[in-house]
């Protein structure tokens, strides 16, 4: 993962999750639930109870959109 990939996901404004090398995933429901370190080597992800985890960028394997699927119905 690169800093620019994470910045793009944040700027998109849609929920996503970060996947780690150990198989864990960390949900980022909104842009205020994540912050990048000044040099971009770490990411801090927060949860609803204001707990946080600091994740090294080097251990991230990808990110996945977790935006709700559109429920379009034909009338």
Q: What is the full DSSP assignment across the chain?
A: --HHHHHHHHHHTS-EEEEETTS-EEEE-SGGGEEE-TTSSEEEEE-TTS-EEEEEGGGEEEEEE-PPPP-----
Neighbours of 13 (CB within 10 A): 9
Task: Work out how many domains the chain is built from and give that number.
Answer: 1
The model carries a pTM of 0.82
Tell me the CATH number at 21: 2.30.30.100
> Is 61 contained in some domain?
yes
Q: Which domain holds residue 15?
A: 3-65
Tell me which residue has tokens 């960028």: 57
Tell me if 29 is assigned to some domain.
yes
Contact call for residues 22 and 5 (beta carbons, < 8 A): no
Give pLDDT, residue 74.
46
pLDDT surpassing 90 at residue 17: yes
Given a cut of 80, is residue 68 above it in pLDDT? no
Reply yes or no on whether the pLDDT at 73 is more than 70. no
- 72 pLDDT higher than 60: no
Percentage of the chain lying above the pLDDT 90 cut? 80
| 46: in domain | yes
């Amino acid at each position: 993962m690169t800093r620019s990939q994470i910045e793009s996901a944040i700027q998109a404004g849609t929920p996503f999750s970060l996947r780690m090398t150990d198989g864990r995933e960390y949900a980022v429901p909104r842009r205020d639930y994540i912050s990048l370190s000044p040099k971009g080597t770490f990411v801090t992800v927060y949860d609803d109870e204001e707990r946080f985890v600091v994740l090294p960028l080097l251990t991230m394997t990808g990110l996945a959109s977790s935006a709700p699927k559109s429920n379009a119905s034909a009338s």
